[in-house]
Amino acid sequence: MTGPSDETAQEGGAVTVAEWPDELAGVLTGAAEQARAAVAEFSGADAVGDYLGVTYEDPNAATHRFLAHVPGYQGWQWAVVVAGYAGGDRATISEVVLIPGPTALLAPEWVPWEQRVRAGDLSPGDLLAPAKDDPRLVPGYTASGDPEIDEVAAEIGLGRRWVMSAWGRADAAERWHEGDFGPHSAMSRSTKRVCRDCGFFLPLAGSLGAMFGVCGNELSADGHVVDKHYGCGAHSDTPAPAGTGSPMYEPYDDGVLDVVDRPVVEPAGAAEPADAGEPAESADAADSADATEAADAAKPADAAEPADAAKPADAAEPVDSDDPADSGD
- For 195-211, b/e burial (b = at least 16 CB within 10 A) is beebebbeeeeeebeeb
Q: Which backbone phi and psi does 173 adopt, to 5 degrees?
A: -65, -40
Residue pair 69/47 in contact (Cβ under 8 Å)? The answer is yes
Q: What is the pLDDT of residue 205?
A: 87
Give me the residue spans of the domains in the chain.
7-100, 133-164, 166-227
Residue pair 202/216 in contact (Cβ under 8 Å)? The answer is yes
Distance from C-alpha of 329 to C-alpha of 43, rounded to nearest angstrom? 166
How much is the CA Rg of the chain, to the nearest whole Å? Answer: 59
What are residue 202's DSSP bridge partners?
214
Residue pair 82/64 in contact (Cβ under 8 Å)? The answer is yes
pLDDT tens string, the chain, 329 residues long: the values are 344 444 444 433 344 455 566 677 788 888 888 889 999 888 888 889 999 988 887 778 889 999 999 888 889 999 999 988 777 778 889 899 999 999 888 888 899 888 888 888 889 998 888 888 899 988 876 666 677 777 777 766 666 788 888 899 999 999 999 999 999 999 999 999 999 999 999 999 888 999 999 999 999 999 999 999 999 999 999 998 776 666 777 777 887 777 888 888 877 765 555 454 455 455 455 555 555 555 554 454 444 444 444 444 444 454 444 444 444 44
Distance of CA 176 to the CA centre of its chain: 30
Q: What is the pLDDT of residue 321?
A: 46
Ramachandran area for residue 157 (φ above 0: left; ψ -120 to 50: alpha; else beta): left
- For 240-250, b/e burial (b = at least 16 CB within 10 A) is eeeeeeeeeee
How much is the pTM?
Answer: 0.47
Distance from C-alpha of 60 to C-alpha of 189, rounded to nearest angstrom? 62
Q: What's the CATH number of domain 7-100, 1.10.3470, 3.10.450, 3.40.50, 1.10.132?
A: 3.10.450
Q: What is the pLDDT of residue 288?
A: 55
Distance from C-alpha of 49 to C-alpha of 73, rounded to nearest angstrom? 13
Distance from C-alpha of 182 to C-alpha of 195, rounded to nearest angstrom? 10
Residue pair 66/72 in contact (Cβ under 8 Å)? The answer is no
